[in-house]
Amino acid sequence: MCGRGGEGWRKPSLATCRNEIDDILKASLFFLYQPMQNAFKMRKRVEKVKHVVVKSLDM
């Protein structure tokens, strides 16, 4: 990062680093979330499976 007077490289502020990290994390969440969202939208509807419990006496 250059200064205003063109004095070479300066260390970025902590707020700038936080903002860049937030942008990177949001982009990575999009890459993970978007394919899953598309898969849920495109999946076939099926009936819910009802589990029948057989009651038996264990002696």
- Phi-psi category of 47—alpha, beta or left, where left has phi over 0 and alpha has psi -120 to 50? beta
How many angstroms separate the first and last alpha carbons of the chain? Answer: 77
Q: Which residues contact 16 (CB under 8 A, 6 or more apart)?
A: 1
pLDDT of residue 47: 77
Each residue of 22-44: pLDDT tens digit?
999 999 988 888 888 888 888 87
Give 2's strand partners. 9
Question: Rounded CA gap, 27 and 19, in Å?
Answer: 12
Q: Place 3 in a pLDDT band, splitting at 50, 70 and 90.
A: low
